[in-house]
Structure 1
Amino acid sequence: MKIKKLISSILSTNAAFVVLLLLQIAFIMLAVMSLGERFIFVYIALIALDIILAIYITNKNDPVSYRVSWIIIISIFPLLGGVSYLFIKVSQQFPKSLDMRNQKQSRELLVQEDGIMEELSNSSPDSVNLARYVAAHGLYPVYSNTYTEYFRLGEAQFEKLIEELETAKHFIFLEFFIISKGYMFDVVSELLIRKAGEGIDVRLMYDGIGTGMLNSVKPFRKLQEGGVKCKVFNPFRPMISSVQNNRDHRKIVVIDGHTAFNGGTNLADEYINRKERFGHWKDTAIMVKGPAVWNYTVMFLQLWEKADSSEMLKYKRDDIPFSAFMTSDGFIQPFSDSPLDQEPVGKRIYLELINNARRTVRITTPYLIIDEEMINALGFAAKKGVDVSIITPHIPDKWYVHAIAWNNYATLTEMGVKIYEYTPGFIHAKTCVADGRTAVIGTINFDYRSFYLHFECGSILYECSVIKDIVRDFERTAEVSHLVTAEDCEKRPVFKKIAGAILNMFAPLL
């Protein structure tokens, strides 16, 4: 088993990318060094380039932490720092036309229903500005008359997912960041092939790096042979390119246009605790039934293919009398966040909830790699008397991320923020609740990648009764978690503190 795991690690996409990256850097160094006596002139030119780039980066409209990280790299590695930044910036990018097309389609397909925003304003005046922002800049409308159900564990969600997939009559769309061979994949594969055989339009999309090289072909060949349409989003390419950073981190399932699932759960056995990796794995998700599912349908189809609006409209189920079997319980606004539009929708939603909270903020996140803006927002809320509590993993999946998180623990606890570590293992849930009245659940971590680099999605819940279930689950989870104290931060070994401080300088690039 250990040998198999070692081979898997060596052949993984991340390992291949690192090796190829190092080879390309070595090639650049050899090319420069081979210049002999002329090397000094190249060195001076590179130093001049670094100075120009440092000035350019300082004045760019990128996040401060990102700019600082690159300036540090350029200062420490004057020979390669500037060249690396320039090469990555001019390398392959997602075409801007893709973002322009998506925005055009969203304006045509996702139209805010008359009266809904006014109803939300009357019901929750403190939240309506957030809804208006997401509708105007995220281009996703808010809905009422939609049923939501919360799942506090991946096991419960998976059981319900299979039950709902069995009812499909028209189409099934699935989108995951990670898919691994195992029990979950086998069960879903058998079901999808059977449904495709019934003539149902079944599509499965997965990320080219998140799923990995070993899982890129063989597990999906049988699905394709069985009639399931499979698509790799942004396939792995062995080149230094910023496009490799733009991953599809979303987890979406849409069934017949009336039911959708969204949350942190991927299609791998650790998410339902049939395979133990980092202790007990806690994840969360929601099921949505009603007109709001249209938002999920559109966001899936936009990444799937270059279809025009008229083609996508055939998946809109206007024939379903939602009002006949759905109870109107608050409002919901499913949204997607793209790295292409320079609008960090996910981060701004979190900031709005934190800044407007009057009593409580409840957050769960597997990663706490946050910039000064987010740290100040959390700390200022706590200083105003808001009870700000965050639950993170006790057993991390990435040691360096955990080291950076502890660096932030010290700052946040000093400001009055309560940090809990989930003692049983790894918490992968991504939720944020303000005052028990407004909540976000989805795929967005509290880190730079989710805020700026990945394709993400989630749902904002306004005045929905299901928010009580999320808060209740948070409280139960906090009971089995360890409250991190200032003393805990102080007692950490010096080398861990130093490692966390150094890694934190490069956090936006990790």
Structure 2
Amino acid sequence: MSKYGFSLIIMILELGFVFGLFFYLGQVNQDLWIVFVFILTVATIFSIVNRSMTPESKVTWLLIAFVPVVGSLIYLMFGERRLSKKEMKQLEKMDSMKFREDNSYELRLRLKEQDKSVYGIIKSLLSMDHNADIYDGTSSRYFALGEDMYEALLADLKTAQKFIFLEYYIIEEGKMWNSILAILKEKVAQGVEVKLLYDDIGCMATLPGNYTRKLQALGIDAHKFNKVIPRMTVAYNNRDHRKILVIDGQIAYTGGINLADEYINHIQRFGHWKDGGVRLNGRAVKAFTRLFLMNWYINQGEISDFDQYHLDNMAVEGAGGLYVPYGSGPKPMYKAQVGKNVYQNIISQATDYVYITTPYLIIGYDLTEDIKNAAMRGVDVRILTPFIPDKRLIQLVTRGAYRDLMEAGVKIYEYQPGFVHSKNLIADDELAVVGTINFDYRSLVHHYENAVLMYQTPSLKEIKEDFEAMFRVSQEIHEGAIKNTWYQRLLKEIVQLFAPML
């Protein structure tokens, strides 16, 4: 039996013990128990009503709370992330750190004079993520396929001289990871510091439970993020969905591409795997270095001297455009839904077009209205999703969102060759976002995510060309093209109702 199976059984037993004890007390004194249940239910409802959360989440939790006993207990155990004293001290320490560059203020002033709309978008982002900053002196290269990024990534890894940081949601043994691991072993032997952070649940089905020990024996400082232990906690809902690779604080990679063979089309599970990523070289890589070290600190409870990892970071002369790498994550680690707000601000201020690609489309009322309003203003809004799904139930919910959007003038496309996993947005040939943030509740609310906002960078041309190429091999969805039976519609509505807490 794996440690995951053991942990699951312990958690089920713990859950059964709590419910069993509660109902046993009801048999001891029923009158007192009824009064207690009434007070507990009312207190739970008041807690939900007064809590700061999205309206969709609030409605879902209120429905659960009205179920006597069970609803209150579920909310107490899973409804809200409560920090320990140690975690609160860690959070206060991170909040006290200020990383803004000396030239950041001048860049923002210049941007305010040049384009107040974009300045407002970036100003809002910087106010939400204190780790984020605005950078020039950075070059970028966009990759329209995982296999293209894979080849460049291997070449860059071989040049590492000081440190390599890797943070990924999924790692799986195979051609891609094994070739990366071979280089990491060589670099460790050369004295290069290698830190690796991967999500425990994300790799549950792809790596052995003791894989970190194997990597540590090779000299790689490897750890699981949010490790599964035999304990009931809402923290398990907050996964590390980031994809970050940093080399010597000078080069960084991010995007939708995990370290597994389907991402480079070495194997095919859902037709052709369409993904996207970006390589940065220059000043903006400092932010990715800090993003990695922040999650390292959250996971390990230890913090390093940040300066030692980017003292030698060099600007790339003549590189055009501005970059804002940023993180997004769950409350209370992040006080705002950074990824969602960035998307909303770009969509709301677009004047010509907005193109979006996402594997899943499960979004709330406010983001849906922003997308619809953009289309009704005359903006060419296009959303591209997969034709071949990796999760059929999620595709059912995704397709359930089409009609409302199409009635407002949004164009929906499905990528016919296979599965789209990239999470990209481009607007008006001015702004683009490449990162890990899906248009769904898990990415927008629950997960630790990352992305880079790019303004007037040369790589925007490559991103737009990639969108145009995808549209050519995709089918535009028209009214009545997607037919669902009554039970499929019912299932979609049920999943949509509970999506905010899933």
TM bucket, shorter chain:
over 0.9
Task: Give me the whole-angstrom Cα distance separating, in 2, the residues matched to 1:403 and 1:25.
Answer: 31
Pairwise CA distance, 1:24: 3.9
Residue aligned with 1:313, SS: helix
Name the Cα RMSD after superposition.
2.3
Residue aligned with 1:115, SS: helix
Task: Give me the whole-angstrom Cα distance separating, in 2, the residues matched to 1:376 and 1:242.
Answer: 30
Corresponding residue to 2:147 among 155, 158, 161 = 155
Per-residue CA deviation, residues 257-276 of structure 1 (Å, 9 max, x unaligned), is 11000111111111111122
1:477 corresponds in structure 2 to 470
Task: Give me the whole-angstrom Cα distance separating, in 2, the residues matched to 1:406 and 1:21.
Answer: 35
2:335 corresponds in structure 1 to 342
Task: Give me the whole-angstrom Cα distance separating, in 2, the residues matched to 1:111 and 1:21.
Answer: 49
User: Does 1:442 find its partner at 2:432?
Assistant: no
User: Does 1:462 find its partner at 2:452?
Assistant: no
Pairwise CA distance, 1:410: 2.0
Corresponding residue to 1:376 among 362, 369, 382 = 369
Task: Give me the whole-angstrom Cα distance separating, in 2, the residues matched to 1:18 and 1:280.
Answer: 34
2:42 corresponds in structure 1 to 51
Q: CA separation of 1:183/1:360 partners in 2, compared to 1, >3 Å: closer, same or farther?
A: same
Task: Give me the whole-angstrom Cα distance separating, in 2, the residues matched to 1:265 and 1:44.
Answer: 53
Task: Give me the whole-angstrom Cα distance separating, in 1, the residues matched to 2:30 and 2:417.
Answer: 56
Counterpart residue type for residue 393 of structure 1? P
Per-residue CA deviation, residues 8-54 of structure 1 (Å, 9 max, x unaligned), is xx9695x7776555444433343344343634642453244223322
Matches within 5 A, 1:47-196: 47-75=38-66, 77-89=67-79, 93=83, 95-105=87-97, 107-108=98-99, 113-139=104-130, 140-196=132-188
Q: CA separation of 1:83/1:222 partners in 2, compared to 1, >3 Å: closer, same or farther?
A: closer
1:7 corresponds in structure 2 to none
Task: Give me the whole-angstrom Cα distance separating, in 2, the residues matched to 1:93 and 1:455.
Answer: 16
Q: CA separation of 1:473/1:213 partners in 2, compared to 1, >3 Å: closer, same or farther?
A: closer
Residue aligned with 2:273, SS: strand
Q: TM-score, normalising length from structure 1?
A: 0.91
Checking the alignment, whether the CA contact within 8 Å between 1:208 and 1:216 is kept in structure 2 is no
Residue aligned with 1:250, SS: coil
Task: Give me the whole-angstrom Cα distance separating, in 1, the residues matched to 2:57 and 2:6.
Answer: 25
1:314 corresponds in structure 2 to 308
Q: CA separation of 1:40/1:371 partners in 2, compared to 1, >3 Å: closer, same or farther?
A: farther
Task: Give me the whole-angstrom Cα distance separating, in 2, the residues matched to 1:405 and 1:16.
Answer: 34
2:192 corresponds in structure 1 to 200
When the two structures are aligned, how many residues end up with a matched partner?
493
* Most deviating of 31-40 and 163-172: 31-40
Q: TM-score, normalising length from structure 2?
A: 0.92
2:380 corresponds in structure 1 to 387
Task: Give me the whole-angstrom Cα distance separating, in 1, the residues matched to 2:324 and 2:180.
Answer: 28
Task: Give me the whole-angstrom Cα distance separating, in 1, the residues matched to 2:149 and 2:38.
Answer: 55
User: Does 1:289 find its partner at 2:281?
Assistant: yes
Task: Give me the whole-angstrom Cα distance separating, in 2, the residues matched to 1:112 and 1:96.
Answer: 32
Task: Give me the whole-angstrom Cα distance separating, in 1, the residues matched to 2:31 and 2:269.
Answer: 51
* Most deviating of 40-49 and 339-348: 40-49
Pairwise CA distance, 1:219: 4.0
Checking the alignment, whether the CA contact within 8 Å between 2:355 and 2:427 is kept in structure 1 is yes
User: Does 1:30 find its partner at 2:24?
Assistant: no
Q: Which runs of at least 4 in structure 1 moved beyond 6 Å after TM superposition?
A: 15-18
Counterpart residue type for residue 363 of structure 2? I
Task: Give me the whole-angstrom Cα distance separating, in 2, the residues matched to 1:23 and 1:359.
Answer: 56
Matches within 5 A, 1:200-349: 200-212=192-204, 215-305=207-297, 311-318=305-312, 321-323=314-316, 326-339=317-330, 340-349=333-342
User: Does 1:431 find its partner at 2:444?
Assistant: no
Pairwise CA distance, 1:283: 0.9
Pairwise CA distance, 1:80: 0.5
Task: Give me the whole-angstrom Cα distance separating, in 1, the residues matched to 2:382 and 2:3.
Answer: 36
Task: Give me the whole-angstrom Cα distance separating, in 2, the residues matched to 1:12 and 1:402.
Answer: 31
Identity of aligned residues (%): 34
Per-residue CA deviation, residues 72-118 of structure 1 (Å, 9 max, x unaligned), is 2223x32311111012347764623332222222x146555342113
Per-residue CA deviation, residues 387-440 of structure 1 (Å, 9 max, x unaligned), is 111111222222332222122112211222111122222111011111121011
2:487 corresponds in structure 1 to 495
Checking the alignment, whether the CA contact within 8 Å between 1:153 and 1:284 is kept in structure 2 is yes
Per-residue CA deviation, residues 423-460 of structure 1 (Å, 9 max, x unaligned), is 22211101111112101110111111212221111100
Per-residue CA deviation, residues 219-261 of structure 1 (Å, 9 max, x unaligned), is 4444322211112111012332111112111110111111000
Checking the alignment, whether the CA contact within 8 Å between 1:197 and 1:226 is kept in structure 2 is no
Q: CA separation of 1:297/1:84 partners in 2, compared to 1, >3 Å: closer, same or farther?
A: same
Checking the alignment, whether the CA contact within 8 Å between 1:389 and 1:419 is kept in structure 2 is yes
Gap regions ≥5 residues in structure 2: none
Checking the alignment, whether the CA contact within 8 Å between 2:2 and 2:209 is kept in structure 1 is no
Corresponding residue to 2:357 among 364, 369, 386 = 364
Gap regions ≥5 residues in structure 1: 1-9
Task: Give me the whole-angstrom Cα distance separating, in 1, the residues matched to 2:379 and 2:238.
Answer: 35
Pairwise CA distance, 1:481: 1.6
